[in-house]
Amino acid sequence: MDKNREVIQERTGVRIHPTAEVSAEAVIGEGTSIWHQAQVRERARIGRNCILGKGVYVDFDVTLGDNCKLQNGVSVYHPATVEDGVFLGPGVIVTNDRRPRAVNPDMSLKSDADWEVSPVWIGQGAAIGAGSVLLPGVKVGRWAMVGAGSVVTKDVPDYALVLGSPARQAGYVCPCGTTLVQETPDDYCCSQCGRCFRFDRAGGKLTPVQS
């Protein structure tokens, strides 16, 4: 990292380790830290107060919200959208190509024009466990939780807990991280913090109950 760049990062309140590679075309929010051997590509947009651990790869045209935490070895491929407060555990991979090939049928090397991108969307506050893979085109709902080592092949509802390969829903979780207790067919509450939720049958989703 050259001295001019180091001064710029100090002025904007961004910490970038000397071994990290951050494109001059990337936008990095104030308070963000980018650690050893991380790479942030052109036109990536990283929010405020994010932490990108060792060896993180953020592809071009990826958007990360504020207060996101990407643990060591995470890879996020374009053009994924990651909302505020998302946690991506060590080794998580966010993919973008449903039919990956290195070459075309005539054995010519594929270019960007030879394949169709299917972006992933991860909602506010969601947590993706270590070693999980998100397949192209999936949406992970707000405050959802994906168990470690899961392969997410379809959309995950808000507040849902999913586990396994392929990932299947095993319940609902509170924003505090505690599994919700089902008290009636449509009502769920958290034994830790007391928040309660109701399943909206018309909308097909879990929603907070206003106190």
Q: Tens digit of pLDDT for each residue in 144-166? A: 999 999 999 999 999 999 999 99
pTM: 0.92
Average the pLDDT over 9-19 and give the result. 79
CA 53/CA 49 separation, integer angstroms:
13
Residue 6: pLDDT over 70: no
Indicate the fold that domain 3-173 takes in CATH. UDP N-Acetylglucosamine Acyltransferase; domain 1 (2.160.10)
* Averaged confidence pLDDT in the chain: 93
Taken in order 123, 77, 33, 89, is the CA torsion positive or negative? positive
- What is residue 203's predicted lDDT score, i.e. its pLDDT? 87
Where is pLDDT greater, at 43 or 110?
Answer: 43
> Would you say 154 and 134 are in contact if contact means Cβ atoms under 8 Å apart?
no
- What is residue 109's predicted lDDT score, i.e. its pLDDT? 93
Cα–Cα nearest to 186, from 170, 161, 165, 207: 207
What's the pLDDT tens digit per position in 136-146? 999 999 999 99
Average the pLDDT over 6-10 and give the result. 49
Q: Where are the domains of the chain?
A: 3-173, 178-211
